[in-house]
Amino acid sequence: MKIGILTHYNVSSHGAYLQLYAMSRILQERGHEPFVLTYRKNFDFAEEDEAKKFQIGPASISYYIRKYLFDAGLRNSFFQMRKHRELEAFGRRTFSYAPYAKSDMDAAIIGADEVFSLQYGVNYMMYGHGVAAKSVFTYAPSFGQTDLERIERFHVGPLIAAGLASMQGLSVRDEGSAAVVEQLCDIKPRIVCDPALLYDFDREREKFASGKQRKPYALVYAYTTNMNEPHIVESIKAYARTRGLELVSIEGYHSWCDKNVVCDPVDMLAWFSSASAVITDTFHGTISSVITHAPLALFTRPTNTVKLGSLVNQLGLEEILVTEERDVGEVLSRPFSYERVEEKISAIRTEGMSYLDSQLDACERLLR
């Protein structure tokens, strides 16, 4: 079947590209023809200053000069430009693209990632509206931190509920999103794992498991605006000093690290695989550590409690959480086995594949 994937595809995020890559490979292994569905994002709910970065034109010039040349600095700006180009090039050589409303496709999959979020605006196609496919179902989308209060504040509950209720199948990535779906349309969706956990990466594992000969390092995976608190920075640097490790940052630019690396999402896994330790506060930083069995210290933040908290519970990662009582050094000094984690992954992978295959079978029955 020709299957369109409706997810974040033009964002400067390794995690977004990694989950898209994983879903694309899973569908190809099942003999399908996946492609990415393009769309124009809505930013009606963004703050006025924040919205300027999405509105390319005279009004945005002052924003970019201030944000990237003065606030961020030249090195950060240069890093972000190189990273954007690298991820964009990866997308061009890995995926094909077509508009969501005009594509010739048999089925559309909505997800994964926070495509249900109302952070900046309502993207009605993410709830199935206007998607030119015979069958539409979701796989592991998330509302992120969007709750019912925010949905009601912007008066989009009926629009979202109508779209979700019309889907062939509904699954979400976390318990918080499942609760919102139930509140909106009285449907209990399946909770399934992110595509980056669903896919086994067997074809890629030989490449990234071997890695490259590098000086021992600890990997920092966090957005540029995060993990800059002085006490967190000092605790990470102190750990690296005591172990004789370089600090390498991927995903965001951190001037306090020894290196800031630009790479594609698959090469990124090689950096995780070879790391002596990983410090992250992100969902896909955690997943990449789990995929490669990297020693991990995990921070949580108020901005990602829903998705990251659900992942920690799913995989039993409570032992590697950094808390007020356990700093980075203490977490990483404790032995941690991924054996139990792999058992949990095996179970949730079976659940996810069962859901995905049942939806694909239903799509094929409609075409007969």
CATH of the domain at 239: 3.40.50.2000
In terms of Cβ atoms closer than 10 Å to its own Cβ (0-12, 13-18, 19+), residue 158 is exposed
Q: Which of 30, 43, 41 is nearest to 3 (CA)?
A: 30
Considering the domain architecture, whether residues 166 and 236 belong to the same structural domain is answered as: no
Considering the domain architecture, whether residues 115 and 7 belong to the same structural domain is answered as: yes
Q: Specify which residues 99 forms β-bridges with.
A: 38
Continuous H helices in the chain: 14-29, 48-51, 58-64, 74-94, 148-153, 157-165, 175-185, 195-198, 202-210, 230-243, 265-274, 283-292, 305-315, 328-333, 339-367
The model's pLDDT over 104-150, given as tens digits with 9 standing for 90+, comes to 899 999 999 999 999 889 999 999 999 989 999 999 999 999 999 99
Question: Could you give the CA distance from residue 162 to residue 168 in angstroms, rounded to a whole number?
Answer: 13
Asked if the structure places residue 355 within a domain, the reply is: yes
Q: What's the domain range around 322?
A: 205-336
Torsion of CA 26, 28, 29, 30, to 10 degrees: 90
Considering the domain architecture, whether residues 216 and 238 belong to the same structural domain is answered as: yes
- The residues near 101 (Cβ < 8 Å, ≥ 6 apart) are 125, 130, 131, 132
Considering the domain architecture, whether residues 142 and 241 belong to the same structural domain is answered as: no
- How much is the pTM? 0.93
- Structural domains counted in the chain: 2
**Predicted local distance difference test score (pLDDT) of residue 56:** 45
Q: Specify which residues 128 forms β-bridges with.
A: none
Considering the domain architecture, whether residues 210 and 144 belong to the same structural domain is answered as: no
Considering the domain architecture, whether residues 139 and 221 belong to the same structural domain is answered as: no
- Tokens 């995780």 sit on residue: 272
3 state SS of 191: strand
List the structure tokens of 268. 């990124």
Considering the domain architecture, whether residues 209 and 302 belong to the same structural domain is answered as: yes
Gap between the terminal Cα atoms of the chain? 12
The amino acid at 331: V
Asked if the structure places residue 272 within a domain, the reply is: yes
Considering the domain architecture, whether residues 40 and 154 belong to the same structural domain is answered as: yes
Question: Could you give the CA distance from residue 37 to residue 6 in angstroms, rounded to a whole number?
Answer: 5
Contact yes or no for 290/315 (Cβ under 8 A)? yes
Contact yes or no for 154/45 (Cβ under 8 A)? yes
**Residue ranges of the chain with pLDDT lower than 50?**
56
Asked if the structure places residue 178 within a domain, the reply is: yes
Asked if the structure places residue 78 within a domain, the reply is: no
3 state SS of 42: coil
Asked if the structure places residue 119 within a domain, the reply is: yes
Considering the domain architecture, whether residues 295 and 354 belong to the same structural domain is answered as: no
Considering the domain architecture, whether residues 232 and 331 belong to the same structural domain is answered as: yes
User: How many CB atoms within 10 Å of residue 27?
Assistant: 21
The model's pLDDT over 52-91, given as tens digits with 9 standing for 90+, comes to 555 545 555 555 566 656 666 888 989 989 999 999 999 9
Asked if the structure places residue 279 within a domain, the reply is: yes
Considering the domain architecture, whether residues 133 and 247 belong to the same structural domain is answered as: no
List the structure tokens of 87. 């991820």
**Predicted local distance difference test score (pLDDT) of residue 20:** 98
Question: Could you give the CA distance from residue 221 to residue 170 in angstroms, rounded to a whole number?
Answer: 31
**Predicted local distance difference test score (pLDDT) of residue 293:** 95
Asked if the structure places residue 189 within a domain, the reply is: yes
Instruction: Specify the DSSP class assigned to residue 169.
Output: B
Helix 157-165 / helix 175-185 crossing angle, nearest 10 deg: 100
Considering the domain architecture, whether residues 120 and 236 belong to the same structural domain is answered as: no
Does residue 46 have a cis bond before it (omega within 30 degrees)?
A: no
How much is the mean pLDDT over the chain?
91
CATH of the domain at 174: 3.40.50
Asked if the structure places residue 321 within a domain, the reply is: yes
At residue 7's C-alpha, the angle toward residues 94 and 175, to 5°, is: 130
Q: Which of 125, 104, 126 is nearest to 115 (CA)?
A: 126
**Predicted local distance difference test score (pLDDT) of residue 285:** 96
**Predicted local distance difference test score (pLDDT) of residue 212:** 61
